C-alpha cells in the first residue's frame, strides 16, 4: 500500500487551505504514488460550536474584532494554551478518534492551531509522525506549539523564537518559509505581458485591491474613496464571493480604468500586472505578493494573529500601513507622483522577504518522516 499523508486544515480564512494545497502539490512531486488527503478537521469532526467556525469566521472578524482581540490575548500563553487544551480534551476525544479512524496515515500534518494539541492527545502512544505547519508569519499563537510534534515547521525566525520559548526542542523546529502556490513562486514577472493578457491599460499607474475570498471590509470603502478622488490611475478590485459588492461596484461610473472581479483563480497574474497590492495582512496574501515582488499597502489586520505580519512588511521595507481609506489614497497618490524609484525600492525589499522554496522545503521535511515502504 502506498504511504499516506493527511493534511488537516480548516476554512477559517483562506490561508490554511492555500498552504495545505501548495504542500500537497509538492508532496506529489517528491514522492510518486503518495496518497495525500486534505481534511477540514473543524468542519467535519469538531464538536459544536467549533464545527461552525468555518461558517462564522468571516462574520466574527467583520463584526467582533474587539472580542477576538481579547480572546486571542487571554488564551495566548504557553501555560494557558496547555490548560485550555487539557480542559477541552474530554469534549473532543471522540471526535479525534473518528477523524483518525476515517483518515489513517503514516504522517499527519496540521496547518491550523486548533488541530494540533487535541489531535496529538487522541493519537496515543503508537502514533504516526505529526507535523505542525505554522501558517501565521510572526504572531503565532501558543496553540501552534506542542512538544510532542515530530516537526514544527515555521515560516520565520520570529515564529521559531516563539516555538522555543514554548519549550519545543530546537532540533525539531525548522524555518521553511510559508508555502504558496506554484503560480506565485516564479518571482516577479513581466508587468506589460500580464497587462496585455488581462486587457488592462499598459502605461497607467495601477493598484490591485483585494478583500480576501469573502470580499471583506474595508474593500468597498477604499474603492469608493479612490473613485471619488478621480486620481489618474488604473484600479482592479477583486470582490471574491461577495456578489452584492461586485454588482454594485461594476454598476458605477469610474473616472479612470477600473476592472471589477469576483472570485478569481489567477491572482498571481493580477498581482504581476499591478504596481502595488492593497490588502489586509493575511499571511498567505502577504507572502503571495512578496513572492511576486509587489509592494503592499496593508489596509487592516486581524487583532493578534496578523499584527506581526504588518511589522514584518514594514520593517522589511516592502510596504506601508494604511488602515483608513484616506491613508490608502494618500499613499497611492504619493507613489504615483514619486515615479518608479520608491516603488522599485519596495519591490526589491519584497523579493528579499519572499520564500519561493517554502513549499518544497516543507514537503521534503514531511517525506523524510515517511517509511520507505508501507506494507498493507
The 10s digit of each residue's pLDDT in 271-330 is 999 999 999 999 999 999 999 999 999 999 998 889 999 999 999 999 999 999 999 999
Helix (H, G, I), strand (E, B) or coil at 199: coil
- Give the per-residue pLDDT at 241: 87
Are 353 and 178 in contact by the 8 Å Cβ rule? The answer is no
Q: Taking 60 as the threshold, does the pLDDT of residue 153 lie above it? A: yes
Whether residue 28 has pLDDT greater than 50: yes
> Using CB atoms within 10 A of its CB, is residue 353 exposed (0-12), middle (13-18) or buried (19+)?
buried
pLDDT band at 187 (very low <50, low <70, confident <90, very high): low
Is residue 376 pLDDT above 50, yes or no?
no
User: Are the CB atoms for 42 and 53 separated by under 8 Å?
Assistant: yes
Given a contact cutoff of 8 angstroms between Cβ atoms, the answer to whether 279 and 296 are in contact is yes
Q: Give backbone dihedrals phi and psi of 134, rounded to 5 degrees, phi first.
A: -75, 120
pLDDT at 74: 85
Q: Is residue 122 very low, low, confident or very high in pLDDT (cuts 50, 70, 90)?
A: confident
Across the range 144-167, mean pLDDT stands at 96
> By percentage, how much of the chain surpasses pLDDT 70?
96
Which residues fall within 8 angstroms of residue 311, CB to CB, at 6 or more apart? 138
In the DSSP assignment, the letter for residue 172 is G
Q: Where are any strands of DSSP class E within the chain?
A: 4-9, 35-40, 107-110, 129-133, 151-154, 173-175, 206-210, 234-238, 258-261, 276-279, 296-298, 319-321
Percent of the chain predicted with pLDDT > 90:
71
> Which of 96-105, 205-214, 260-269 is predicted most confidently?
260-269
> First and final CA of the chain: distance in angstroms?
5
Interval 92-114 mean pLDDT:
91
Q: Output the pLDDT for position 64.
A: 76
pLDDT tens per residue across span 210-235: 987 776 768 999 999 999 998 999 99
pTM score of the predicted model: 0.93
Give me the residue label for grid cell 476515517.
102
Rounded mean pLDDT, 3-16: 89
The alpha carbon torsion through 67, 73, 76, 79 (nearest 10 deg) reads -110
Yes or no: say if 123 and 99 are a contact pair by the CB < 8 Å rule: no
171/117 Cα distance (integer angstroms): 20
Indicate if the pLDDT at residue 352 is higher than 80.
Answer: yes
Q: Of how many residues is the chain composed? A: 376
**Amino acid 96: pLDDT:** 86
Does domain 186-353 fall into CATH 3.30.70.20? no
Residues 6+ apart with CB under 8 A from 94: none
Domain map (residue ranges) of the chain:
4-179+356-368, 186-353
Binning pLDDT at 50, 70 and 90, where does residue 53 land? confident
Give yes or no for residue 59 having a pLDDT over 90.
Answer: no
- Cell numbers of 124, please? 496515543
Confidence of residue 126 (pLDDT cuts 50, 70, 90): low
Question: How far is residue 283's CA from residue 137's CA, in Å, rounded to a whole number?
Answer: 6
Kindly report the backbone phi and psi dihedral angles of residue 110, in degrees, each rounded to the nearest multiple of 5, phi listed first.
-115, 130
pLDDT given for residue 189 in this prediction: 76
Residue 55 has a pLDDT of: 80
What does CATH list as the number for 4-179+356-368? 3.40.50.2000
pLDDT band of residue 54 (cuts 50, 70, 90) is confident
One fold for both 4-179+356-368 and 186-353? yes
> What are phi and psi for residue 111, nearest 5 degrees?
-110, 15
Q: CA of 306: how far to CAs of 40, 61, 262, 298, 302, in Å? A: 22, 12, 24, 11, 5
Q: What is the pLDDT of residue 375?
A: 42
Q: Name, in order, each residue with C-beta under 8 angstroms of 128's C-beta and a sequence gap of 6 or more.
A: 105, 106, 107, 108
Q: Is 136 helix (H, G, I), strand (E, B) or coil?
A: coil
Amino acid at each position: 500500500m502506498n504511504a499516506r499523508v493527511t493534511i488537516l486544515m480548516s476554512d477559517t480564512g483562506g490561508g490554511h487551505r492555500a498552504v495545505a494545497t501548495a504542500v500537497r502539490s509538492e508532496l506529489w512531486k517528491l514522492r510518486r504514488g503518495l496518497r495525500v488527503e486534505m481534511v477540514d478537521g473543524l468542519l467535519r469532526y469538531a464538536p459544536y460550536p467549533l464545527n461552525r467556525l468555518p461558517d462564522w469566521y468571516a462574520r466574527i472578524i467583520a463584526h467582533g474584532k474587539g472580542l477576538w482581540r481579547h480572546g486571542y490575548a487571554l488564551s495566548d500563553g504557553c501555560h494557558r494554551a496547555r490548560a485550555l487544551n487539557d480542559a477541552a480534551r474530554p469534549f473532543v476525544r471522540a471526535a479525534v478518534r473518528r477523524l483518525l479512524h476515517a483518515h489513517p496515515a503514516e504522517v499527519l500534518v496540521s496547518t491550523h492551531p486548533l488541530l494540533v494539541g487535541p489531535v496529538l492527545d487522541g493519537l496515543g502512544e503508537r502514533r504516526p509522525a505529526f507535523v505542525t505547519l505554522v501558517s501565521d508569519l510572526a504572531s503565532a499563537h501558543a496553540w501552534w506549539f506542542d512538544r510532542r510534534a515530530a516537526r514544527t515547521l515555521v515560516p520565520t525566525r520570529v515564529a521559531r523564537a516563539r516555538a522555543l520559548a514554548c519549550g519545543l526542542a530546537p532540533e525539531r523546529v525548522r524555518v521553511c518559509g510559508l508555502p504558496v502556490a506554484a503560480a506565485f513562486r516564479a518571482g516577479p514577472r513581466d508587468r506589460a505581458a500580464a497587462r496585455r493578457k488581462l486587457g488592462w491599460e499598459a502605461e497607467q499607474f495601477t493598484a490591485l485591491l483585494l478583500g480576501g475570498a469573502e470580499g471583506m471590509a474595508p474593500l468597498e470603502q477604499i474603492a469608493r474613496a479612490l473613485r471619488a478622488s478621480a486620481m489618474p490611475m488604473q484600479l482592479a478590485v477583486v470582490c471574491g464571493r461577495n456578489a452584492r459588492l461586485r454588482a454594485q461596484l461594476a454598476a458605477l461610473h469610474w473616472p479612470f480604468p477600473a476592472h471589477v472581479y469576483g472570485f478569481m483563480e489567477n491572482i498571481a497574474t493580477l498581482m504581476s500586472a499591478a504596481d502595488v497590492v492593497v490588502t489586509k495582512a493575511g499571511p498567505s496574501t502577504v507572502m503571495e505578493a512578496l513572492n511576486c515582488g509587489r509592494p503592499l499597502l496593508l489596509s487592516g489586520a486581524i487583532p493578534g494573529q496578523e499584527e506581526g505580519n504588518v511589522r514584518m512588511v514594514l520593517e522589511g521595507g516592502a510596504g506601508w500601513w494604511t488602515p483608513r481609506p484616506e491613508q490608502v489614497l494618500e499613499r497611492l497618490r504619493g507613489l504615483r507622483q514619486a515615479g518608479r524609484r520608491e516603488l522599485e525600492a519596495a519591490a526589491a525589499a519584497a523579493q528579499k522577504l519572499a520564500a519561493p522554496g517554502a513549499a518544497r522545503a516543507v514537503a521534503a521535511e514531511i517525506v523524510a518522516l515517511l517509511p520507505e515502504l508501507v506494507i498493507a
